[in-house]
Amino acid sequence: MARIFITGSTQGLGFMAASEPIAKGHDVVVHARHHQAADAVKRSLIGVRGIVEGDVVTMRAIRSLADQANDVGPFDAIIHNVGIGYRENRRIATEDGLSHVFAINTVAPFMLTALMERPRRLIYLSSGLHRGASAGLDDLSWTKRRWNGTTAYSESKFQDVLLAFAIARRWPEVFSNALEPGWVATRMGGKGAPDDLDQGHRTQVWLAVSDDAAAKVSGEYFYHQGRRDPHPLTRDTGLQDRFVEALEAITGVRLRV
């Protein structure tokens, strides 16, 4: 039986990813943005082990979430599912001066990884759109460029792969992987999304709990439980290190060795 923490898990793929291991007897702690969402998931997700609350748009809130999660941990696996999509207008998380897409999709998984007790498995959700992006290191928070929601989202998903691969190198005792769930019909994906919704959550659950040799690897990228090639530049170790250094400078949080 595994103990699993899933961010952004009150609806969509996060909720589905929580439901499956609960049904199989695993201990799952979910994350809700606010108290109303926590109450709703408590009623709908029978058997959930615990709920932590926090809107991960600010670094202060991310630190609080990490503290709450550590209080109910440790965990065997952490699924970094929380995220917002490509149809977002530009908004600034004014407390930190960061764009909300960057704060939620990139800063939150980085800070939680750095601040939470190290699990055995780490899973980061990316997107096929990352293949058309760059790391965006020269303008991570979109202060120099005219806003483009699709590009900002795609960059954040590129960055999530960089983070997964950087962790795989730095923490050899941890299975750290990234995946794309497919373009599925969630609130983020939209009603016309063509991929199989039922498959959208299964790879992250498989990576979190499976004893299959294919799931017990690190530094890989997956789609529907099969390995898939990510953007080649996500394998660039120098780029991975520069990205981590940039996030450490922005957040003031060091990624432990």
User: pLDDT digit string (tens) for 78-134?
Assistant: 999 999 987 767 777 668 999 999 999 999 999 999 999 999 999 999 999 999 999
H/E element holding 70?
helix 59-72
Residue 94: predicted pLDDT:
66
Q: Which of 86, 157, 221, 223 is catalytic?
A: 157
Q: Which of 124, 153, 221, 223 is catalytic?
A: 153
153 is catalytic: yes
Residue 188: predicted pLDDT:
55
> For residue 8, how many other CB atoms are within 10 A of its CB?
25
Which amino acid, one-letter code, is at 252?
G
Domain extents in the chain: 3-251
Superfamily name with CATH number, domain 3-251: NAD(P)-binding Rossmann-like Domain (3.40.50.720)
124 is catalytic: no
Could you tell me if 131 and 221 are in contact, meaning their C-beta atoms sit under 8 angstroms apart?
A: no
What is the maximal distance between C-alpha atoms in the chain? 49
Could you tell me if 218 and 140 are in contact, meaning their C-beta atoms sit under 8 angstroms apart?
A: no
Higher pLDDT, 82 or 38: 82
**Highest-pLDDT range among 1-15, 83-97, 222-236:** 222-236
Which of 108-117, 147-156, 196-205 has the weakest average pLDDT? 196-205
Higher pLDDT, 191 or 232: 232
User: In the predicted model, what is the mean pLDDT of residues 183-211?
Assistant: 70
